[in-house]
Every structure is written in C-alpha cells, then in structure tokens.
C-alpha cells in the first residue's frame, strides 16, 4: 500500500508517493499509466510529425531508496551517504520525471531516422571529424 510522506525533504514537485515494495499495486498502476501515455504520445507524434504541447511530454517513473544508511556505525555500502542502493531500502519514494526519450523522439521527428540509425550516423560523423582533424594535423606538420 502506498503512502504520502509530508516531510520537509520531499519538496520536489516530481514526488508522488512512497511504497514499501516494488510490487506495490499503486506503483505498478502508475507505471502502466505512464507507459500507456507515452505510447499514445509517440504514436501521435510519429503520425503528425510533431510533439503535441497540449499532451505533455514523455515521462518516466523513478524510485529513490530510503532508509538507514549505516549499520553499527558503518556505511552499508561505499556511497550510501549519497545514494542508497535499492537492496538496502526500507521503502521507496516514487518520482515522476521527464524522460530522456524526449530528446530522441524530437530528433526522430527532425531527421526521420530511428534511434539506432541516428547512433550509427553520429558515430560515422564523429569518425569523419576525427579523420579531418588528423588530416589537418598532418598537413601542419
């Protein structure tokens, strides 16, 4: 069962609720809603060649582990002070963020290429720039 933490350290607008398990029904329902919304947005954008501003943007659900970071005065793991691993969590805070996939969808609409095609293109362009730089360097020598 999910719950709301009204603590002062939950000031992010992206915070939605907290859960004790990754199998929580509220969390799974939120993930399904986000998945469905993202799919509808991608379908619309690809069909109309634009990302509708009225529908928002692609989103993703992220979990932040919360709980004790020390056991008998020792850190549970090397960077427990800054980021608690999920395996040590007592509960999880659920956040809804803008997805990095927005960048790739926008590029797909601008270029007409899929993400894998763009990665190949970027790799070839990087190699071409490196070869051009090497050529200039050799001419200067």
81 domain residue, yes or no? yes
65 domain residue, yes or no? yes
Per-residue pLDDT of 73-103, as tens digits, reads: 887 878 777 888 888 889 999 999 999 898 8
Residue 43 has pLDDT above 90, yes or no: yes
74 domain residue, yes or no? yes
128 domain residue, yes or no? no
47 domain residue, yes or no? yes
Q: In what order do the strands lie in the sheet with 59-66?
A: 15-19, 91-98, 59-66
Q: Which residue has the higher pLDDT, 1 or 121?
A: 121
132 domain residue, yes or no? no
DSSP string, 89-108: -SEEEEEEEE-THHHHHHHH
94 domain residue, yes or no? yes
Q: Are 27 and 12 in contact (CB under 8 A)?
A: no
Quote the percentage of the chain above a pLDDT of 70: 91
Strands 91-98 and 59-66 turn out to be: antiparallel
Residue 48 has pLDDT above 70, yes or no: yes
Average pLDDT of the residues in 61-69: 89
The answer to whether the predicted template modeling score (pTM) of the entire model surpasses 0.85 is: no
43 domain residue, yes or no? yes
User: In the predicted model, what is the mean pLDDT of the chain?
Assistant: 87
Residue 5 has pLDDT above 80, yes or no: no
**Out of 27-41, 62-76, 97-111, 125-139, least confident range:** 62-76
Range of the domain at 43: 15-99
Distance CA 35, CA 54 (A): 18
Q: How many domains does the chain have?
A: 1
pLDDT for the residue numbered 52: 84
pLDDT for the residue numbered 68: 83
């Amino acid at each position: 069962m999910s719950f709301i933490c009204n603590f002062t350290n939950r000031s992010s607008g992206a915070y939605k609720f907290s859960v004790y398990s990754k199998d929580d029904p509220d969390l799974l329902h939120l993930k399904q809603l986000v998945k469905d919304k993202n799919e509808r947005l991608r379908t619309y954008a690809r069909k109309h060649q634009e990302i509708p501003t009225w529908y928002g943007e692609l989103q993703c659900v992220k979990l932040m582990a919360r709980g004790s970071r020390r056991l008998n005065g020792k850190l549970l793991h090397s960077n427990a002070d800054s980021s608690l691993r999920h395996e040590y969590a007592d509960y999880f805070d659920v956040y809804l963020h803008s997805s990095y996939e927005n960048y790739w969808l926008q590029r797909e609409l601008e270029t007409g290429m899929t993400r894998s095609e763009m990665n190949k293109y970027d790799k070839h362009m990087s190699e071409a720039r490196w070869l051009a730089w090497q050529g200039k360097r050799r001419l200067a020598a």
